[in-house]
Amino acid sequence: MKKIKYALLTALFLSTSSAFAKIEFNIDTGGGNPGADAALISEVNKQFQLIDMTGFLQSMSNAQSMTNKGQGVSYASEQSLFVVGGGAGLGLNAPSGLTTNFDTKGGLPPIGVGLQGSLMVGVSLAKLPVPALGPIDLKRLTVFVNYFGLSNDSLVDSVTMKTSTFGLHFQYKLLQGFNLGGIGLLNWGGLALTTGFDVSSNSLSYKVGQKLETSYGGETLSWTPSAGSNLTLDASAFTIPIEVSTSVRLAYIFSLFAGVGVDINSGKSSISANLTGPVTNTSATINGTASLTGSEEKGPTVGGARFFVGPQFNIVPLKNTNVVSIFAQFNVATSGNYGFHTGLRIAW
């Protein structure tokens, strides 16, 4: 029985890139069949994003940095005392565009993906006896705190998920808003400066590998990682947004907010794999084993510009405050970053 050890990329692409320095695929088809070896390597390479593992991990880091942009604040509630709410959303990083083929057959996604939920509370200092700090009127300031955490191993079979986020933000009204006509049918929300920080993480642990199949010689070639196999994908981010935003409200029930910002990002995404199992084909002429082992990590793009916009539907509006609202926010940033989230806001 001839055992062939493949260091992916060097065997397939004759490159010494560090993207594969810690990831190795070992295969023994039981008969020294290089054609079957190459077919399985090609499929593993595609499904586990091994062509550019460093690029994939950076995409995951960028997506994680986008997951909660805007979830921890409110841009159109116009609160004078407080605002509370919650929401959920996702971040995507697709440098080549969102038309990428998403068919992973149970493997890793072909683009960076991050998911996050958050609960938030904001307190306006407008009614509090706070002094001015020189030219800074603290009564124009709202302080926001947001948090969410979840650990679950039963939502999806054989997958353990952990997610958490925490943020602290400060929103200062550079220009106060006003309404036209005196009855609130058309309101301008003013101009606001928002900054702070977000800390978030997602971890997925696959405790049992899925069968991976490809075609070779008119038959199906299968690799089935055993029950003892595991793969862990972690993504964490620390981001500092600096934003300028504004909003308008029409006929009480509809608001629109928009803004631009700069994000300072840090963190990392890492992968650790220990997948081992049998390799077989339809006619049972191949009976071997294969394993994918190793670990790597990569951080996000450090900085970038971002534009965001969102509609808000005010279910219970008052003259100057939107008491109960449902909103959505779309984020588009440099380096192929996209984000979307939706949620509920209650303000007074």
pLDDT digits (tens, 9 = 90+) for 20-75: 347 788 888 776 678 888 999 898 888 888 888 999 999 999 999 999 899 999 99
Residue 15: pLDDT over 50? no
What's the rounded Cα separation, in Å, for the pair 34 and 286? 12
Residue 192 has pLDDT above 70, yes or no: yes
- The per-residue pLDDT of the chain, averaged, comes to 86
Whether 12 has a pLDDT exceeding 60, the answer reads no
- Which pLDDT score, from 0 to 100, does residue 335 have? 87
226-245 residue pLDDT tens: 877 888 999 999 999 999 99
User: Which stretch of 21-35, 93-107, 164-178 has the lowest confidence by average pLDDT?
Assistant: 93-107
Just give the CATH number of 4-347. 2.40.128
Over range 192-214, report the average pLDDT: 87
Q: Given this model, what pLDDT does residue 180 score?
A: 79
Q: What is the pTM of this model?
A: 0.87
Between 185 and 248, the more confident residue is 248
pLDDT band at residue 88 using 50, 70 and 90 as cut-offs:
very high
At 108 the pLDDT is 82
The percentage of residues in the chain with a pLDDT greater than 70, rounded to a whole number, is 87
**Band (211; pLDDT cuts 50, 70, 90):** confident
List the one residue out of 257, 239, 240 whose CA is nearest residue 248: 257
Using the predicted structure, report yes or no on whether residue 3 has a pLDDT greater than 60.
no
- What is the mean pLDDT of the segment spanning 79-90? 94
pLDDT score of 144 more than 80: yes
Of the two residues 9 and 166, the one the predictor is more confident about is 166
Three-state SS for the chain is CCCEEECCCHHHHCCCCHHHCCEEEEEECCCCCHHHHHHHHHHHHHHCCHHHHHHHHHHHHHHHHHCCCCCCCCCCCCCCCEEEEEEEEEEEECCCCCCCCCCCCCCCCCCEEEEEEEEEEEEECCCCCCCCECCECHHHEEEEEEEEEEEECCCCCCEEEEEEEEEEEEEEEEECCEEECCCCCEEEEEEEEEEEEEEEEEEEEECCCCCEEEEECCEEEEECCCCCCEEEEEEEEEEEEEEEEEEEEECCCEEEEEEEEEEEEEEEEEEEEEEEEEEEECCCCCEEEEEEEEEEEECCCCEEEEEEEEEEEEEEECCCCEEEEEEEEEEEECCCEEEEEEEEEEEC
